[in-house]
Amino acid sequence: MSKRLDIVCMGTALIDSIIKGYDPEPISASGYKATSGTLNVGGEAVNEVVTAARLGMCAGIMCYLGEDPAGDTILNYLHKNMVDTCSIIRKKNHSTPVTTMFVNKDGSRKSITNLSHRYNFHPEKYPETYTCGQMLILGSLFRAPFDDRDIIYQVCSDAAAAGTMIFADTKLPNFTKMTLEDIQKALPLIDFITPNEDEAKYYTGKEDPEEMADVFLSYGVKNVIIKLGPKGFFFKNKNFTYSHPAYDVEVVDATGAGDCFVAGFASELLRKLERNEEKLVPEEFVKDSTSIPEKSLCECLDRANACAAICTTEVGATTALKDRIQLLKFISKM
């Protein structure tokens, strides 16, 4: 099947209102101080698709935007970054989500969501939008629209049937509580699942990264990547394990680092495999992603780790990483 895009990213698109250096001590009856306040285009799907596009991929996004100024801002930003936006759905009856984020001095953060994040979005009605890529990244498994087991299974089964490699980046639930049991039918269709440490603990009940990975593998997921923040990452499939600490950089803002990791990994993996750097053809690795050579996976994971590190050096999820040349130069200096 001919594919129009390299990577399709599906999930949340929003505006991040990032408050850095917030001081909880009031300066007046209703006033507080912060070091800075900025508006940044974000959301898992946006962060991932922009990263993929900057790394040289032909990347598209499938998301929901309101017909409002926030939606216009996101759309303009995607166009500026050469992202295919043909599959974006816009409606007047629902506002574009806006998230307020408080960033601490060490780069850690807390966010505030609202009901606009709980939109009625049904991507499964448009299978042509997510089966047209070599790879599909579900940017927010367990968050809307992927907080409905039927939607998750339909999207995954459609993509798998079309020969699309599936990446699922998880999130902690906000409005709808779900477990791995709830989506066990869809999990064997997922090639790579990429929770962070807190998400992996929540869904598996385990504390050790390898034990976390074993739980996901027991449900049929083919490859597991646990993102460990400052500790780097842990990878496991049926053949081998691999881990690496985070690159040593001065962290300014960790917003979106996990999204950059996922998109960086998918982009580098596709470059190696679909573009035949490893003398493989797409059919060989799509049938069984656990057959990808160990050396290739490790190199792509290291480059993904570098993408995440670069992301943390500036405020905003898609501010710091500019292109693949920057990525390769960063790795060469490490």
> What CATH number does residue 284 fall under?
3.40.1190.20
Strand-pairing partners, residue 243, are 234
Widest distance between CA atoms in the chain: 66
The residue length of the chain stands at 334
What separation, in Å, do the N-terminal and C-terminal C-alpha atoms of the chain show?
Answer: 40
Give backbone dihedrals phi and psi of 301, rounded to 5 degrees, phi first.
-65, -40
pLDDT for 1: 42
Q: Give CA separation, 264 vs 162, 197, 272, 325, in Å.
A: 23, 19, 12, 13
Domain presence at residue 33:
no
What is the C-alpha to C-alpha distance for residues 334 and 323, in angstroms, rounded to an integer? 18
* 267: CB partners within 8 A, 6+ apart: 6, 7, 51, 52, 55, 56, 57
Tokens found for residue 215: 């739980």
Question: How far is it, in rounded angstroms, from Cα 301 to Cα 187?
Answer: 22
- In 34-132, beta strands by DSSP E: 36-42, 59-62, 64-66, 89-91, 98-103, 109-112
Distance between CA atoms of residues 228 and 242, nearest Å? 13
Before 145, cis peptide (omega within 30)? yes
- Quick check: helix, strand or coil at residue 265? helix
Pairing relationship of beta strands 98-103 and 64-66 according to DSSP bridges = unpaired
Distance (Å, whole) CA 138 – CA 117: 16
Name the residue range of residue 186's domain. 5-11+42-88+121-333
Residue 26 forms part of a structural domain: no
| Distance between CA atoms of residues 317 and 141, nearest Å | 19
pLDDT at 134 (0 to 100): 93
Q: Strands 165-170 and 192-193, how do they pair?
A: parallel
Q: Report pLDDT for 119.
A: 63
Place of tokens 């495999």: 273
- What's residue 20's pLDDT? 84
- The answer to the question of residue 19 being in a domain is no
pLDDT tens digits for range 21-41? 888 888 998 898 888 888 889
95: in domain: no
319 domain-assigned: yes
What pLDDT does 102 receive? 86
Q: How far apart are CA 295 and CA 282, in angstroms?
A: 18
Which amino acid makes up residue 191? D
Domain count within the chain: 1
The stretches in the chain having pLDDT less than 50 are: 1, 281
pTM of the prediction? 0.90
Phi, psi of 294 (to 5 degrees): -55, -45
In a domain, 130, yes or no: yes
pLDDT for res 285: 56
- Whose structure tokens read 């570098």? 306
Which helix or strand (DSSP H or E) is residue 169 part of? strand 165-170
Contact (Cβ atoms closer than 8 angstroms) between residue 63 and residue 45: yes
Q: Is residue 108 part of a domain?
A: no
Domain contains 29: no
